[in-house]
Structures are given as C-alpha cells and as structure tokens.
C-alpha cells in the first residue's frame, strides 16, 4: 500500500562503453573534485599548493576568501591533509558557506555540493541520502543508508538520528564513492563528515540572532576557552522557532512551524604532551510540525468517476483522520501532522602518542526516539495516515593504530564494533479506503565487527601508492514482528506474526589508488574501490509477514575513478574534475508483491542482480581580483539496470492473486542526470567598514521515471547574501535570501496508496536578517 519502485523511460546503450571510456580517460585526464573550507589551525603535512602572498589582504570581519587559493586541512583520511592530496572525490563546505547560505539542516546541504540529493521519504521526517545515484528510499528506520553519516568521526547508522540542527560547525566533508577501509561503517554511496568547532586556547564567545519570513527565528551561541593549562571546553547551542509556510484552507490554519533546540559540550583534557582525551556530550529536542504534502492531481483512490479535487496551491495542505485511527494512535482526529525527534549521546576519544605510532580509541553511545504523525493523502479522510513510534540506541567502539612519522610510509589499522537496538511501531490509517487500519510492530538488533587497514607509500616525491582492505561481519536479527490489520479497533489477523528472522554476512571491501603529481600544484589519480551495504528487512503493512520479512541481501559496488586536482597559484584558480564508473551488484530497490488473498500491493525491498552507473563531477574556484571570489561545481550521473525483473501488476489464478513480472533490463536508474551549484561574492571596502555581497544558485534536471506520477521536474534556485561589518570588528549584520525568484518546485513526488498522487513542495521565497557578535 505504498509507492513501488519505478524505472525511467529510456535505454542507455552508450553506458556499456563506460569501461572503455574510463581506461582511455586515465591516460588523458585532467578530470574530479574540489573543496574549500575555512583554514585549519595547522598546515597540511604535504600541501599541494603554495599560497600566493600578493592577494592575502583579507577582511576578517567579512570572512571571505579574498583573491587567493585557500590552504585547507581535512581529516577525511583520518589524518590532517590537504584535499588536493587525496585520491578521492571530496567536497568541503566551509562554515562561511553554511552561514552565508543559511544552511541550518542536513536537507539544504544538497544545494552546496554536486552529486548529492537529500529527500524526505514520502514527506516524512526521515531523509534519504543519495550520492552519484546511489541511495535507499525507506521511511522506516530499521535499515542502514547507502551514505554513512559521521559527526566528529562517530558513525550513526539510524537515518532519523542525524536530522538535528547544524550549528557551531567548522566544516562538512562530502566524500563520493564507496567508503570503508578507514571508517567505522561500510557504505556504497559515500560519506558525510560533520566536523564541529573545537575548544580554543583563549576565552572566546559569540551569539547570533536571526529573524525571517513567516515569523521564523533562530538564536545560537557559544563560549569556549581554557579552564587551566590542561583542560579546555566549548559549550554551544541553538534554538529555531516559527516559520509556518503551509496553509490549510479548510481549517484556516498554518502548518510548518519549527520548534527545535540543541546543545553540545566539548571538553578536551591533555594531561601530558603525548596523551589527550576529547569528551563530547550532546542532545537535541524537536517538537516541530511535519511537512504536509499536496495533491498535485485529483485523488482517485476512493472513486475514479467522482475524485476528490487536486489542491489549488502547492502551498496548501489538508489533514484529518478517522476517530478510530486517532484512538489507536492516541491523538485527536484533527491533529496537525507533527515530527518529534529527540536525540542524545556522548563520546570519548583518547589519543596516545608513541615514538612511531598513535593509538586512538573512540567509544560512543547515542539514543534516539521518533514520534511522528503524517497525512499522506492531503485530505481529512483516513486514506493514507501514518504514525511512527521508534526508539533506538547505538553503542560503538573503534580502536586504531596509525603512523605518526614523516617517512615514506603512512599506515592505519584497527577494529570496529557496533551494536544497534531498535524498537518500532508503524501504524497506518486506511479506514475510508479499506475499512481497516494497519499496525506493524517489531524490534531489531544489529551487531557489527570489522577489521580495517590502509597503507600509503611514497614511491617518489611525485608518486604515491595507496592500498586498503576491510573485512566486516554483521548479524541483523528481527524479533517479534507483527503485521496486524484492525477493523473497529479489533485485530482481524492475530496469526500474522514472525518470532524471529535473521541475516548475517562476512564480506570484504577494498581500495587501491595511484596518485601522481606531474607538477607541484597538480595531482592525477586513479582509484579502485569496493563498498558494501548491509542487507535488511522490509517492515511494512502486509497480510503475509513471512513473505514481507524475507531478508534482502547486502549490495556490493565496484568503483573505478580517475581524476585531476589542479591549482594555479599565479591566477588563484582551483579546478578539480573526475570521471567514475560503477559495477553494481544486488542493488537494493523498492518493488512490490501482491497479497495472495486480497490482491492489494505490498511494498517489498528486493535486489536488482546487476546494474551500472557512470558520470563525473567538476569543481572550480577562482579569485581574479583580491576581493572577488567565484565558485562553480557540477555533476553528470546516469546508469541502467543490466539484469532485473520487477513486479508491475497482479492476476488472479485459481482464486489466488499472483504478481506479474516485467523485465526492465536496460532502463535507466532514477536520478537527476545533471546538478550544478555556483556562487559569486565581492567585498566592498568603505572606510572603516566592509560590505560583502553575493549571489548563488543550485540547479538540478528532471528526475525521470517510467511512471509519470513519480517524475520530479527539475528546478533552479537562486539565493543572495549581503553583510555589513567593521574591519576586524566584533559584530556583523547580515541579510540572506533563498529562492529569491520564488520558484515553484517539488522536492519529492509519489503516492502512498494508488490514486493519491502527492508531492512535497519546496520552500517559497524566504529572507532572513541576522545580527552576530563575537567577544
């Protein structure tokens, strides 16, 4: 009873030539990646670029890159490096970009980097992350994503557990392609690393207050400094309020108010010169409204001859449910949709320096709970109403050893253990449509243990070889799974129950890379990597829970990538580009089966045996004048199923409903084929003050699908930024505009039940005014 996976319309015969193009490109390539972030406290160990000095005059108050290529340090390889020295496609989003574009949450990250798409699953409070077309669209919480999410190197495999606010961030690193030989979790799509600001050696504090359209408000602040010569701290927090931008024309009320708060305490303790502890304590509380979908076409699930009308505006939404379903969930029938997510946790990191290596241990605990009520039919009827009640916790420990010498050999190795526990209840209101409601309950445990290692050897000053491997064992167990239907509050199928289902695997992942520096500011690289993503279970409404919980297998992805990372210091230009080709085995996709008794469609995750993808990215940064900065990035991604059959309908044979399969081999994989982002900013010096003006944009093309109701039209969003501050002054006034052309667009489309074609609209034009002060 929900949207099944649909495949795009056209075939791509030229994709099969991807390997040939890749090998030819390896010999020619100035081809991907670029990142820019705020400067770190120390230089990279082997910087690719030397910084031009003639354009180093900068306005600290404006916080801009003024006519120079920045010397950046990232830790995506678990050691401080320039991203120009890493043979991996990586983008770095600095704190200034996050601030200037008013990126307050994970959803908006996609508008600042290529090849990344983030969508609310069916408009729910859980996001789907996709990098280079590798994603996993699932509104339940029991399966791991294809993109690993890390906060200060701590992995969180529960998707809704990382939806919290982004505040007091130093940078965000987005890695494209399979990861695993250096990280606590293994992924096929990539990784997103959130790096927070750390305690400072001197006392500092700051506060910022913001007000915007729809009565939205935000306040954040921090205080940081030493307690004594061995102990320092940083306390930060943020609250967001208001901002309701949707309207219910029947109830004459608004939807979309935000009510969030979060805080973080970091404590660094350095008892000796060779020993350091870093403690992190964090928590967040979200009592926001949910996002309401709108019906972009008539609602025909009840009647095709007398349908309910489509919404008159994409910013209008309706809600309501039956008295019976409201009683089952514990809400009122006119309850506004809501998404309430609470998180909390702590981590402790120890670094012990020895003569030739460093011992690091990182132990963490995180707790999350999700209470959510959504209306997926844009009506007051109980056609497709859902409620989620989820509790989860994650415990992990990573022990690793890494070299700390400056010789030719750099190495890292370690072991990782993670334990997840999750308890979930997923309720569905279908009374107006089927005279029944759904109630799915289960718990799940996941135990993961792995060993990993990676070595880099500098053959010559210009040539490096990198190799890594990881062996991972995981056991995933589903316990006490119920999938009940209720009529008038009474369970009609109490026997639909499975006591236990389990799946385990032991699989390797690997990486091999060749990095060559033909010039001091240029690096060519070729990288092969293999990634895996855990298998799992489908836990949706079904009349046959045994069929539903049949596990789908882990997916495996073999990636080939060539790239070039180039800096031209004389002209303050940075240009990175790459080309990739993926062989994809057992891709996890959303399909469907049919109930043998009722003939109703039932969602089911299955494995597509073989598919492939290819494409490339580029990123460009240029400062032609000391106060002018231009950046541009883009990506092209496409792919096709080589071997896959999916269920497209059902027929009744001898009184039993049986699915009808269709071979969809050769059809393209759903993904916007082209995405692009760019910005231009200029600093105007007026006496004792600086004025910074900037404009940015984000573009994505249409996401095609075989089923027209799933086609997501492309769109382009424009934004603007202006700030006023004294030279090296402690305060700043800023103005930010997003979607300043008031583009009407959708961020996701689909249907939860057949005939109810819904979409979630993107935000209309918004503006914010912010006052910031640092002490």
Cα 751 to Cα 1: distance, rounded to the nearest angstrom? 9
Cα 610 to Cα 594: distance, rounded to the nearest angstrom? 24
Q: Which residue has the tokens 């034009």?
A: 765
Q: Is residue 2 part of a domain?
A: no
Alpha helices in 507-549 (DSSP H): 545-548
* Backbone phi and psi for residue 133, each to the nearest 5 degrees, phi listed first: 80, 5
Cα 513 to Cα 578: distance, rounded to the nearest angstrom? 14
Cα 135 to Cα 737: distance, rounded to the nearest angstrom? 30
Query: What's the distance, CA 493 to chain centroid?
Result: 38
Q: Is residue 164 a contact partner of residue 196, using CB atoms and an 8 Å limit?
A: no
E strand intervals along 49-151: 90-94, 116-120, 127-131, 147-151
Domain that holds residue 319: 13-663+672-774
E strand intervals along 430-554: 437-460, 463-487, 490-491, 497-519, 522-533
Quick: pLDDT tens for 191-240. 999 999 999 999 999 999 999 999 999 999 999 999 999 999 999 999 99
Q: Is residue 222 a contact partner of residue 251, using CB atoms and an 8 Å limit?
A: no
Quick: pLDDT tens for 434-468. 899 999 999 999 999 999 999 999 999 999 999 99
The secondary element (H helix, E strand) that includes residue 343 is: strand 338-353
527, exposed or middle or buried, with CB in 10 Å at 0-12, 13-18, 19+? buried
406, exposed or middle or buried, with CB in 10 Å at 0-12, 13-18, 19+? exposed
Cα 622 to Cα 566: distance, rounded to the nearest angstrom? 12
In this prediction, the residues of the chain whose per-residue pLDDT falls under 70 are 1-79, 122-123, 164, 183-184, 598, 600, 706-708
Q: Is residue 233 a contact partner of residue 198, using CB atoms and an 8 Å limit?
A: no
Q: Is residue 6 part of a domain?
A: no
Q: What is the predicted pLDDT for the residue at 32? A: 34
Which residues does residue 220 pair with via DSSP β-bridges, in sequence order? Answer: 208, 238
The secondary element (H helix, E strand) that includes residue 363 is: strand 357-375
Pairing, β 294-295 against β 204-212? unpaired
Q: Is residue 424 a contact partner of residue 442, using CB atoms and an 8 Å limit?
A: yes
- Residue 132, classed as helix, strand or coil, is coil
Give the Cβ contact number of residue 296 at 10 Å.
16
Q: What is the predicted pLDDT for the residue at 68? A: 54
Q: Dihedral (C-alpha) 270, 271, 276, 277: value to the nearest 10 degrees?
A: -90
Cα 350 to Cα 153: distance, rounded to the nearest angstrom? 13
Spatial CA neighbour of 582 closest among 612, 610, 555, 607: 612
Q: What is the predicted pLDDT for the residue at 166? A: 85
Q: Is residue 265 part of a domain?
A: yes
Cα 527 to Cα 580: distance, rounded to the nearest angstrom? 9
Phi-psi region of 361 (alpha: psi -120 to 50; beta: other; left: phi over 0): beta
* Backbone phi and psi for residue 544, each to the nearest 5 degrees, phi listed first: -135, 90
Cα 277 to Cα 434: distance, rounded to the nearest angstrom? 58
Q: Is residue 242 part of a domain?
A: yes
Alpha helices in 387-525 (DSSP H): 431-434
Cα 709 to Cα 722: distance, rounded to the nearest angstrom? 40
Q: What is the predicted pLDDT for the residue at 226? A: 98
Q: Which residues of 141-167 are buried (b: 16+ CB within 10 A; e: fewer)?
A: bbbbbbbbbbbbbbbbbbbbbbbbbbb
130 token code pair? 């996709």
Pairing, β 357-375 against β 338-353? antiparallel
Spatial CA neighbour of 251 closest among 402, 374, 380, 417: 380
Contact residues for 706 (Cβ-Cβ < 8 A; gap 6+): 6, 7, 8, 9, 664, 667
Q: Is residue 465 part of a domain?
A: yes
Q: Is residue 167 part of a domain?
A: yes
Q: Is residue 280 a contact partner of residue 342, using CB atoms and an 8 Å limit?
A: no
- Looking at residue 14, the DSSP 8-state letter turns out to be G
Query: What's the distance, CA 436 to chain centroid?
Result: 35
- Looking at residue 178, the DSSP 8-state letter turns out to be -
452 token code pair? 């990993």
Spatial CA neighbour of 547 closest among 594, 607, 617: 594
Domains held by the chain: number: 1
Quick: pLDDT tens for 654-692. 888 888 888 989 998 888 999 999 999 999 999 899 999
Q: Is residue 365 a contact partner of residue 397, using CB atoms and an 8 Å limit?
A: no
Cα 539 to Cα 143: distance, rounded to the nearest angstrom? 10
Pairing, β 490-491 against β 497-519? unpaired
Q: Is residue 511 part of a domain?
A: yes
- Looking at residue 261, the DSSP 8-state letter turns out to be E
Within the chain, what is the greatest distance between any pair of CA atoms?
87
109 token code pair? 């990250």
Q: Is the dihedral of CA 47, 48, 53, 57 positive or negative?
A: negative
Phi-psi region of 509 (alpha: psi -120 to 50; beta: other; left: phi over 0): beta
Angle at 759 between CA 604 and CA 747, to 5 degrees: 95
Cα 98 to Cα 170: distance, rounded to the nearest angstrom? 9
- Looking at residue 227, the DSSP 8-state letter turns out to be S
Which CATH number fits the domain that encloses residue 205?
2.40.170.20
Query: What's the distance, CA 379 to chain centroid?
Result: 30
Q: Which residue has the tokens 């309706």?
A: 318
Q: What is the predicted pLDDT for the residue at 192? A: 92
Contact residues for 450 (Cβ-Cβ < 8 A; gap 6+): 186, 415, 416, 470, 471, 472, 473
Cα 450 to Cα 472: distance, rounded to the nearest angstrom? 4
249 token code pair? 């024309």
Distances from the Cα of 40 to the Cαs of 73, 81, 154, 197, 595, in angstroms?
A: 6, 10, 20, 10, 57
261 token code pair? 């708060």
340 token code pair? 């309430």
520 token code pair? 């001091």
Cα 561 to Cα 616: distance, rounded to the nearest angstrom? 9
Pairing, β 437-460 against β 463-487? antiparallel
State the first-to-last Cα distance of the chain, in angstroms, to the nearest integer.
56
- Looking at residue 28, the DSSP 8-state letter turns out to be H
Q: Is residue 139 a contact partner of residue 124, using CB atoms and an 8 Å limit?
A: yes
Q: Is residue 595 part of a domain?
A: yes
612, exposed or middle or buried, with CB in 10 Å at 0-12, 13-18, 19+? buried
């Amino acid at each position: 009873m929900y949207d099944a996976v649909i495949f795009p319309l056209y075939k791509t015969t030229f994709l099969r030539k991807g390997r040939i193009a890749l090998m030819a490109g390896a010999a020619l390539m100035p081809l991907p990646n670029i990142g820019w972030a705020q400067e770190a406290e120390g230089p990279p160990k082997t910087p690719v670029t030397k910084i031009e000095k003639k354009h180093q005059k900068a306005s600290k108050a404006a916080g801009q890159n003024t006519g120079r290529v920045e010397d950046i340090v990232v830790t995506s390889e678990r050691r401080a490096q320039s991203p120009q020295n890493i043979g991996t496609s990586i983008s770095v989003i600095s704190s200034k970009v996050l601030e200037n574009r008013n990126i307050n949450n994970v959803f908006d990250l996609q508008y600042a980097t290529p090849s990344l798409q983030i969508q609310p699953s069916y408009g729910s409070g859980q996001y789907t992350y996709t990098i280079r077309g590798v994603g996993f669209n699932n509104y339940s919480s029991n399966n791991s994503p294809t993109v690993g999410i890390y906060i200060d190197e701590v992995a969180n495999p529960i998707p809704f557990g990382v939806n919290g606010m982004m505040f007091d961030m130093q940078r965000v690193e987005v890695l494209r392609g399979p990861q695993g030989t250096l990280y606590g979790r293994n992924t096929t799509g990539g990784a997103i690393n959130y790096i927070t600001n750390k305690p400072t050696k001197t006392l500092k504090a700051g506060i910022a207050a913001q007000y915007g359209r729809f009565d939205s408000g935000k306040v954040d602040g921090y205080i940081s400094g030493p307690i004594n010569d061995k102990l320092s701290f940083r306390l930060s927090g943020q609250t967001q309020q208001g901002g309701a931008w949707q309207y219910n024309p029947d109830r004459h009320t608004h939807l979309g108010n935000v009510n969030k708060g979060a805080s973080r305490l970091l404590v660094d303790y350095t008892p000796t010169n060779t020993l350091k502890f870093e403690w992190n304590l964090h928590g967040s509380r979200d009592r926001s409204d949910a996002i309401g979908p709108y019906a972009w076409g008539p609602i025909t699930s009840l009647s095709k001859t007398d349908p309910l009308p489509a919404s008159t505006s994409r910013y209008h939404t309706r809600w309501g449910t039956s008295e019976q379903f409201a009683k089952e969930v514990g809400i009122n029938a006119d309850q506004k949709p809501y998404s309430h997510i609470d998180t909390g946790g702590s981590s402790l990191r120890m670094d012990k320096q020895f003569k030739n290596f460093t011992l690091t241990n990182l132990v963490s605990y995180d707790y999350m709970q999700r209470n959510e009520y959504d209306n997926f039919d844009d009506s007051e009827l109980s056609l497709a109403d859902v409620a989620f009640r989820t509790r989860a916790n994650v415990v992990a420990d990573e022990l690793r050893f890494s070299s700390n010498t400056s010789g030719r050999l750099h190495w890292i190795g370690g072991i990782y253990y993670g334990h997840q526990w999750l308890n979930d209840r997923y309720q569905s209101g279908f009374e107006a449509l089927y005279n029944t409601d759904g109630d799915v309950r289960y718990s799940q445990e996941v135990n993961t243990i792995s060993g990993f290692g990676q070595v880099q050897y500098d053959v010559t000053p210009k040539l490096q070889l990198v190799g890594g491997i990881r062996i991972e064992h995981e056991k995933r167990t589903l316990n006490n799974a119920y999938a009940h239907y209720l009529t008038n509050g009474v369970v009609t199928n109490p026997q639909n129950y499975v006591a236990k289902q389990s799946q385990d695997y032991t699989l390797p992942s690997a990486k091999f890379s060749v990095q060559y520096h033909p010039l001091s500011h240029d690096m060519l690289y070729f990288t092969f990597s293999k990634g895996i993503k855990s298998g799992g279970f489908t836990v949706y409404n079904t009349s046959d829970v045994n069929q539903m919980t049949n596990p789908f297998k882990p997916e495996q992805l073999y990636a080939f990538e060539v790239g070039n990372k180039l800096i031209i210091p004389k002209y303050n230009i940075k240009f990175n580009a790459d080309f990739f080709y993926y062989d994809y085995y057992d891709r996890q996709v959303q399909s469907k089966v049919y109930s043998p008794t009722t003939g109703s469609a039932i969602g089911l995750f299955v494995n597509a045996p073989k598919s492939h993808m290819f494409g490339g990215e580029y990123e460009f940064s240029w400062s032609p004048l000391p106060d002018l900065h231009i950046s541009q990035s883009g990506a092209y991604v496409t792919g096709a199923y080589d071997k896959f059959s999916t269920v497209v309908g059902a027929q009744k044979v001898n009184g039993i409903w049986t699915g009808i399969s269709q071979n969809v081999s050769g059809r393209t994989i759903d993904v916007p084929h082209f995405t692009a982002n760019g910005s231009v900013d200029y600093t105007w010096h007026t006496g004792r003050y600086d004025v910074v003006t900037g404009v940015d944009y984000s573009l994505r093309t249409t996401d095609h699908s075989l089923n027209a109701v799933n086609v997501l039209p492309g769109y382009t969003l424009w934004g603007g930024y202006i700030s006023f501050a004294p030279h090296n002054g402690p305060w700043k006034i800023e103005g930010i505009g997003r979607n300043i052309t008031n583009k009407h667009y959708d961020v996701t489309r689909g249907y939860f039940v057949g005939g109810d074609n819904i979409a979630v609209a993107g935000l209309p034009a918004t503006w914010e005014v912010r006052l910031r002060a640092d002490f």
